[in-house]
C-alpha cells in the first residue's frame, strides 16, 4: 500500500469530496484533551491535525509517523506555510506496523485519523498492539474515522459512500482492506477505555477519545488474535 501516488491530490480531494466534514471529525474532541507533552500523529497525511496540535500545544514535542514520503512532505510544507518552524515536529518515514520508537512508553497522546480504515482487522490488531507499546500508562488516543450509521437512510447512504471510498482507495493506493475494521475491542485490549465519542455527518463519521487505564488488562506480546465482529 502506498499513498505516494495520490499525496499531491489528497488535500484537494478532501476539500472537493468531503468539504469541512473530515476536519470537523479530526478536531471534535480536541477540547477534551489533557495537555500532552509528547504527541505521536500516526498516518497524519497532509498535516491538518498537526497544525491544530502545534497551535494548541506550543510546548509539546510532536512526531509525525507516515509510510508515505509524499504525505510527510505535504505535512511539513503545510506546517511551514502556517508559520511554524521545522524544529516543531519530527517527521518519521516508517511503517506503523513495525516502527520501533527510541524509547518505549514515551507518548502521552497518539492520534490516528482516517487511518484505521486502511487496514484489514488482523493488521489493525497488530498495529494497535504495536503502537500501544509507545504509549505512556495514562496516555490518550484520538481516533477519527468513517463508520456505517446504525439505521435508516443514513445507513444506506453510509454504506454506498464507504463502498465507493474503498473502491477508489484500493485502486489508487492498493490498500488491502475491503470493509471498515472494528477497533473498539482492540483498543480495550490495549488498555484504553472510551472517554468521549462524537458522531458527525448523520453518523457517517466519528471522533473518539480513548484514555489508557492501567487497571485494564492489556495485550501481552504473543497473545492470540481477537475475533472481529462484522458490520
Binding site for ligand SAM (CB under 6 A): 1, 3, 22, 26, 43-45, 65-68, 71, 95-97, 113-115, 118
- Cβ-based nearer residue to ligand SAM, 108 or 145: 145
Report the nearest approach of ligand SAM to the CB of residue 170 (Å): 12
- Cβ-based nearer residue to ligand SAM, 1 or 30: 1
Pairing type for strands 135-146 and 89-93 reads unpaired
- Cβ-based nearer residue to ligand SAM, 114 or 166: 114
- Cβ-based nearer residue to ligand SAM, 62 or 68: 68
Q: Which three cell numbers stand for residue 162?
A: 464507504
The widest CA-to-CA distance across the chain, in whole angstroms, is 48
Report the half-sphere exposure of 69 (CA within 13 A, side-chain side). 0
Report the nearest approach of ligand SAM to the CB of residue 67 (Å): 4
User: Given 3-state DSSP classes, what are the helix, strand and coil percentages for the chain, each rounded to the nearest 5?
Assistant: 40, 25, 40
Report the nearest approach of ligand SAM to the CB of residue 74 (Å): 8
Report the nearest approach of ligand SAM to the CB of residue 92 (Å): 9
- Cβ-based nearer residue to ligand SAM, 56 or 213: 56
- Cβ-based nearer residue to ligand SAM, 115 or 128: 115
Which sign, positive or negative, has the C-alpha torsion 83, 142, 30, 48?
positive
Strands of the chain (E only): list them. 38-42, 61-66, 89-93, 107-113, 135-146, 192-200, 205-212
Residue 114 per-residue DSSP state? S
Report the nearest approach of ligand SAM to the CB of residue 65 (Å): 6
In terms of Cα–Cα distance, which of 168, 179, 156, 200 is closest to 17? 168
Report the nearest approach of ligand SAM to the CB of residue 123 (Å): 8
Amino acid at each position: 500500500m502506498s499513498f505516494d501516488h495520490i499525496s499531491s491530490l489528497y488535500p484537494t480531494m478532501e476539500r472537493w469530496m468531503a468539504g469541512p466534514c473530515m476536519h470537523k471529525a479530526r478536531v471534535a474532541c480536541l477540547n477534551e484533551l489533557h495537555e500532552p507533552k509528547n504527541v505521536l500523529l500516526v498516518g497524519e497525511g497532509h498535516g491538518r491535525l498537526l497544525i491544530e496540535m502545534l497551535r494548541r500545544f506550543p510546548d509539546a514535542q510532536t512526531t509525525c509517523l507516515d509510510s508515505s514520503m509524499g504525505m510527510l512532505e505535504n505535512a511539513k510544507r503545510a506546517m511551514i506555510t502556517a508559520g511554524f518552524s521545522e524544529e516543531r515536529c519530527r517527521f518519521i518515514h516508517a511503517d506503523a506496523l513495525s516502527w520501533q520508537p527510541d524509547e518505549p512508553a514515551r507518548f502521552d497522546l497518539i492520534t490516528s485519523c482516517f487511518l484505521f480504515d486502511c487496514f484489514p482487522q488482523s493488521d489493525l490488531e497488530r498495529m494497535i498492539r504495536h503502537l500501544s507499546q509507545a504509549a505512556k500508562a495514562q496516555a490518550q488516543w484520538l481516533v477519527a474515522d468513517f463508520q456505517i450509521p446504525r439505521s435508516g437512510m443514513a445507513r444506506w447512504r453510509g454504506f454506498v459512500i464507504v463502498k465507493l471510498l474503498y473502491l477508489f482507495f484500493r485502486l489508487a493506493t492498493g490498500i488491502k482492506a475491503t470493509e471498515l475494521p472494528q477497533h473498539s475491542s482492540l483498543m480495550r485490549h490495549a488498555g484504553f477505555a472510551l472517554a468521549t465519542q462524537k458522531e458527525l455527518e448523520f453518523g457517517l463519521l466519528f471522533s473518539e477519545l480513548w484514555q489508557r487505564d492501567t487497571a485494564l488488562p492489556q495485550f501481552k506480546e504473543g497473545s492470540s488474535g481477537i475475533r472481529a465482529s462484522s458490520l
